[in-house]
A and B are shown apart, each in its own frame.
Chain A
């Protein structure tokens, strides 16, 4: 890890995936790496940490073969004294060991208080949910994605604490620095939890300047970091990965660009005059919990969520409360013990036949773009098929598909794109296609679950433009997102709803 600039090339077979030159990883500094999902950010992190499989990828780092790089003193120290927090927490955690066991496993056991860092990341410390999830063997659905992410971040922090203690105790030369890679560490966290993570990270960084690579597509971090930690601005930098000529390259990202853009966002006036297209009554009982809506901005809806034609309604809640569950109940994919809603004058509830949604609502009055584009698109379908299956008059042929794609894709990107299979697309391209499919249907109500995830800055701006166009054409949008930095500015306070769990044993963390 000693060199501060890295030339990294990663190929799979004949295909050059990543080709970055002079990528700056300054020792003792934090490097934020932004960019669209699926274009190679994680590959760079794994390559630097020495995690890539040579049977799958051909890797060269600073002119060295990957084997040479991995065995270099710097790379070995980076691994030995550092930590890699994987993007997908479920793949990081051992399903055969309790979470508490994993928090105290290996070198982490050397920490005087291996659970201390975890307590810092929970709002209610060790009195709330943390003690309840520690004895759990991790499964895909339990604990929640946000809870898993915090536990992994806590492991990384504990590793940092150990490195700090070692450095303090050392009588002679300080130990070789490690590399701490955080790959999308806050993807499942709400803003409050994300900010707490950043604060704890910077608090440790101020004690000992570790080398940190933080990979994310959450540009909202910029505003928080710039507002809270600007005093050490020389110790962190923002980089962006982008695709050029088929391979990924890096460039410096000017935070002022994002902050200026963010500052320019203006909330559109709330729509109150029209009759709601969707009205969800204020108590939903599901999975043994009672979920209720509130309006922090003081709207008139009281305990019911109402979405009017032409309105953008923003539903937010802490991680794991059940925002997506509510969306799935509204769209008719998930039943609940109790719920009542009214859509376009028709009352529906937990006893309503599922066939009603299928026959009268799906694709006609409402649709939904799911959170994970990776999972919500058919990987074996082509881009062309994905849009043409909608059977819309405007998307009957290649020209229509190209016109639809042009709303979110660069003109130069489209010719090679239409015939591509979904599995060949980057994460960001999948997300854009996922959103385009939902908007192409032109249904009166569109539910968007985390529409900005996996997108780069330019794509975020375009997606907001499409949302604005849809609203102008009278479409109602129910939005679920962690991107509070953006949507708190964009959505009128009267249209912001908060989802809360009335279960006393459950508290957002």
Chain B
């Protein structure tokens, strides 16, 4: 299960080669830092501040979505387990049906519906600050990814319940909730939960950027992307960024444009780069964790 081998000390030189999650984590942070230095030199201040804000909003929104997904997923998994173990079949089937119904909705479509609700709340002035808007969109994102957490936790509980140590703890009078939360999930499933969280972080960034790009046409006469906190997706949808992206196409036919890409078209290219590079690194980190802990 877990990858540690007793007594085997990994030499420092081989650490990064062996721990690809760590390697890609360093590459990600390094890439972000290098991009920021480059933008600091070549991008005008208002645009640079906008890119910085987009990064912060996107990443904090994704982190919030992961946290909310973990909380909802953990709670739902425990609730389902409780219904199943106490043989409340009707309630169990009802909750399972509701979850499967939610699962059947395509994530992008579901999130669009969620954004419509967020728009409604914004119009009613229920959501006014950037923080509340980011949390609301994170909740929408979490609602369409949390079932992965439910599946993971239920699979871990099922696996460990078939092992003798759970029976041994039960006959010692240890309550099921302690066994599940502490002994199974915290002590024996942390690598799984961390890996899932990293994967969900990447998924959340992808969904947030996709939706923000899609809704760039505006959600209503009063609420548009200009009202919502700027994210990497919405930055990409701005006219300036689109022109920068189009410049990449021009560079294929006119090589003289290539040097200007990295100094004159920085806003769009850096935003596109940050999205693609982040998704690549997060994907590699998640894979690295899987390899390291043999999940």
Contact = CB atoms under 8 A, between A and B. Distances in A.
Interface of A: 11-15, 17, 56, 331-333, 358, 362-364, 366-370, 372, 375-381, 385, 389-390, 423-424, 434, 437-438, 441
14 contacts: A12-B5, A13-B5, A15-B8, A362-B170, A362-B171, A363-B171, A363-B173, A367-B171, A378-B165, A385-B187, A389-B174, A390-B173, A423-B6, A437-B168
Contacts of B183: 378, 381, 389
A368 B164 CA distance: 12
Given A378-B165, A378-B183, A378-B187, A13 B170 contact: no
Contact of A14 (B7, B169, B171, B188): B7
- Bin the interface of chain B by size: 20 to 34
A72 B220 CA distance: 83
A492 B122 CA distance: 81
B173 A441 contact: yes
A12 to B, nearest CB: 4
Interface string B147-174: 0000000000000000111011111111
Contacts of A366: 171
Contact of B167 (A11, A370, A389): A370
A362 to B, nearest CB: 5
B6 A12 contact: yes
B173 A368 contact: no
Interface of B: 2, 5-9, 163-165, 167-174, 178, 182-183, 187-188
A15 B163 contact: no
A372 B178 CA distance: 22
Given A376-B164, A376-B165, A376-B168, A15 B173 contact: no
A378 B170 CA distance: 12
Contacts of B169: 378, 389
A333 B167 contact: yes
A12 B8 contact: yes
Secondary structure type dominating chain B contacts: helix
Contact of A363 (B5, B164, B172): B172
A284 B164 CA distance: 23
Given A12-B5, A437-B172, 20 more contacts: A11-B7, A14-B8, A15-B7, A362-B173, A363-B173, A366-B171, A367-B173, A368-B168, A368-B171, A375-B163, A375-B165, A378-B187, A380-B187, A381-B187, A389-B169, A389-B178, A389-B183, A390-B173, A424-B6, A438-B172
B187 A333 contact: no
Contacts of B168: 368-370, 376-377, 434, 437
Contact of A380 (B5, B8, B188): B188
Contacts of A390: 172-174
Nearest to B11: A13
Given A381-B183, A381-B187, A13 B7 contact: yes
A166 B9 CA distance: 48
Nearest to A382: B187
Residue among A14, A364, A381 with the highest chain B CB neighbour number at 10 A: A381
A15 B174 contact: no
Nearest to A371: B164
Contact of A362 (B6, B172, B182): B172
Given A366-B171, A389-B178, A441-B172, A377 B165 contact: yes
